[in-house]
Structure 1
Amino acid sequence: MLHRSGTGGPAVVLLPGSGMVGLDYLNLHERLAGLTTSVLYDRAGTGWSDPAELPRTAAEVTGELRDLLETAGVPGPYLLAGHSLGGAYARHFAQRFPDAVAGLLLLDPFHEDMVTRAPRQVLDLLAQMKGREQPEPSREQLEAAREQLIAFFQAWPDDVRVPLAEHHLASWRTAWQEDGNLYDEVSAELRDAPGLPDVPTIVLSAMGRDAVQAHLWPEDLLREINDVKRALHAELAASVPRGEHRVIDDAGHGWLHEERPDAVLQAVTDLLHRTAP
C-alpha cells in the first residue's frame, strides 16, 4: 500500500516503526504534504499490503521499497524519514542505494549496538520475553483496548479512526514478529553494509516517558537504556559530515511524531533547505 500527497521534491518517504503502519503517520503526512511530496506506505506483511512471512531481512524490505517507489513513479532522490525499526531500514536503504537518497531523518531509530552496549539485564529480560508464549487476549481485554485505541485516534479523520483501531487489535503480534531477527540478522546487515552517504542527516532522540516501554522495563533500567540510546544516536549523527543530533525531552519513543509534530516538521524543513540545489 502506498499513498502520496503534495508536490515538489525531494519527496519525504515515511518508514513506520515495527508493528506500525502508514496510517499511524497520517496527520504528520498531511502536514508534510504542505511542504513537499509526502509518501506513506506499508511494508509487505504489515498494514494493508500483501501478506509476507515475518520477520524479513533489511535487504528484502529496502529492495522492495526501492521497487515500490519506482513503480509508483515517485522520483528520487528521497528524504527518508524512518521511525524506530523504520530508522534502521532507512539507514540500510541509504547504505545500499546512496544515489537515491537526498537526506535522512531518523526518528528515535533502532541502533544495532544497543544490545551490546546496554546493561546485561536487558539481554536477560529480552531472552525471557522471546521465550514466553503470548496468550490470546480475552474478550474483555479486547473491548478495553478497542475503547482506548478509538480514544487515542480521535485526532484522525472519522473514516480512518475505527478501521485503524481495528487493524491494530487484529495485528497486535506484528511488532513482535517483525522484531524477530532485529538483534542478529538485521543488526549484522547494518554493520556489514557500507557507511552512510554524505547527505544531510538529523537524528531525533525521544527521551520522554513512553507508556509501552515503562510497562516493559523497570524504571532504573529504562533510564540506563535511554542513556545508551542517546549516546548511540549522538555517535550516529557524528558519523556523517552533515549529521545533527537533536534531543526531544517531552515525547516518548512510540508516538514521537504525534507528541511533537512541530519538532519533526522543523527537522524536515531544515533538511529540505539543506538539500536544496
Structure 2
Amino acid sequence: MNGALPENAGAETATSFARLVDIGHGRMMYLECHGSGSPTVVLVPGLVAAADTWSYVTGPDGGRKPSSSAVYPAVGRFTRVCSYDRPGTVRENGKFTTSSTVAQPTTARGDVADLHALLKAAKVPGPYVLAGWSAGGPIVRIYAGEYPHEVSGLVLVDAESEFLQSRLTPRQFGTFLALIRNDDKKRIAQWKDVERQNPAIVFGQVRAARPVPKIPVVVLTGDEFDAEAFRARLPAHAPADFPQVFWRAQRASQRDLAGRFPSAQHITKTQSDHNIQNNRPQLVTDAVREVVEKARRRPSGTPSS
C-alpha cells in the first residue's frame, strides 16, 4: 500500500504504522496511519472496500494502481491520516482483510462502535475529520452524532443517502434491494464472510441517529453513470427503465443529503462515477484540506455542537 508500512512491519515509526489492533472481545482490526498534525483525518471506505482504496488511483486504461497522488498519501502530507479494514472487506488486489471476521450482515451502528473502539485502542488522537465514501457515509454521520466532541468536520464522498429510499416508490426500492442481494450472492461465492448490509436497516439507523453537530461539511457527488453496467446487476424482473429511474433518484437523494447541512459545500461537477476517491483524488484531497483548515480555525475549546 502506498504511503504505509507493510502490514507485517515489525516496528512502528513515530508517525507511521500499519498493523492489526486488538479492539477487545477477541477481535483484531487492521489500521494504518501516517503523517502528523491535527485534526486527524479518518478515511472510512465503502462496502467491501478496505483501507487501501484510498491509496489507489484510476489510470488511463481504467485500471487502478497505487500512487503518491492518491488521497491517503496526499492527506498525510498536511495532517495525520488513518484508514482501516472493517470485517469482511477486500483489498484492491483481491485479498481478504486480516481483520477478524464477524457475523454478516453488519449494520452502520455496529460499524460506528467498532471504529470508536479501534481509534481508542490504537490511541489515535482526536479531534477527527471523518471522510466517508459510499457506505462509509452513514458511518461517519452516525459517529459524529454519537461523539460530537470528537468530530470537527465531515467529508461525504458520494455517500449513501437515506433519501434514496424516499425518492423511490416502495416497489422501486424493492428492485434496488434485489440488486443488492444479487451483488451479495456473487461476492459470497468468492469470499464466504464478505461484508454485506441491508440498506433499509442502514437508512433507518441514520434517520434515528442523533443529528450531526454544527461542523464544516463537504458533500461530493458522482455525476457519471453507466446505465448498461447497472442494468447487468439487476434481477430479471426489473423494469426496463429502472437504471434511469434509479439515477434520477440518486441525484435527487444527494441534493437532499447536502440539504441536511445548511452550510455544507456541495460539489456536483466531479467528472466521476461512484468511485470519486480513485478517479478524482485531488478533488477529494482538496475537500479534506478545506475541512481540516476550517477545523483548525475554530477557537480552542469551542464545542462541536
Counterpart in the other structure of 1:14: 43
Aligned to 2:282: 262
CA distance in structure 1 between the partners assigned to 2:221 and 2:182 by the alignment = 30
Cα deviation digits, residues 134-176 of structure 1 (max 9, x gap): 7779xxxxxxxxxxxxxxxxxxxxxxxxxxxxxx9953873xx
* 1:51 corresponds to: 101
The CA deviation string for residues 206-250 of structure 1, in whole angstroms up to 9 with x for no partner, is 011358535335885333323322322223223224312111342
| 1:161-240 equivalent positions in 2, closer than 5 A | 170-171=190-191, 174=194, 177-179=195-197, 181-183=198-200, 185-210=201-226, 212-213=229-230, 215-216=232-233, 220-240=241-261
Shift in Å at residue 129 of structure 1?
4.0
5+ residue gaps, structure 2: 1-29, 56-69, 90-96, 298-305
Does structure 2 retain, via aligned residues, the 8 Å contact 1:14–1:40? yes
Q: 1:225 to 1:78 in 2, by over 3 A?
A: same
In structure 1, the partner of 2:113 is 63
Alpha carbon RMSD of aligned pairs, Å?
Answer: 2.7
CA gap of 1:212–1:98, structure 2 versus 1, over 3 A, is farther
1:3 match: 32
Decide whether aligned partners of structure 1 residues 72 and 134 sit closer, same or farther in structure 2, where only a CA change above 3 A counts. closer
Higher helix share: 1
CA contact (8 A) 2:179 2:233 kept: no
Residues 29-67 of structure 1, C-alpha deviation per residue, up to 9 Å, x if partnerless?
Answer: 111111211101011333221111111122221111111
Tell me the secondary structure at the aligned position of residue 50 of structure 1. Answer: coil
Q: Is 1:245–2:269 an aligned residue pair? A: no
Asked if residue 85 in structure 1 is aligned to residue 135 in structure 2, the reply is yes
Give the letter for the 2:104 counterpart. Answer: L
Q: Which amino acid aligns with 1:207?
A: D
After superposition, the Cα gap between the structure-2 partners of 1:31 and 1:213, relative to the gap in structure 1 and judged at 3 Å, is: farther
Q: Summarize the Cα distance change of 1:270–1:129 in structure 2 as closer, same or farther, 3 Å threshold.
A: closer
Percent identity between the aligned chains?
Answer: 28
Q: 1:224 to 1:71 in 2, by over 3 A?
A: same
**Aligned equivalents of 2:213 and 2:99: distance in 1?**
29
Amino acid at match of 1:32: V
- Pair 1:171–1:256, CA change in 2 (3 A): farther
Q: Secondary structure at the match of 2:88?
A: coil
Q: Which amino acid aligns with 2:196?
A: E
Unaligned runs of 5+ in 1: 138-167
Separation in 1, partners of 2:124, 2:181? 42
What CA distance in whole angstroms lies between the structure 2 residues aligned with 1:12 and 1:122? 36
Name the residue aligned to 1:155. Answer: none
| Alpha-carbon separation, structure 1, partners of 2:216 and 2:99 | 30
Aligned-partner Cα distance in 1 for 2:146–2:87: 19
User: For residues 240 and 249 of structure 1, do their structure 2 counterparts lie closer, same or farther at Cα, with a shift above 3 Å needed?
Assistant: closer
- Counterpart of 2:32 in 1: which secondary structure? strand
In 2, Cα distance between the equivalents of 1:75 and 1:268? 18
Structure 1 distance, partners of 2:230, 2:74, is 28
Offset, 1:75:
0.9
1:119–1:103 Cα change, 3 Å: same
- 8 Å CA contact retained: 2:48, 2:88: no
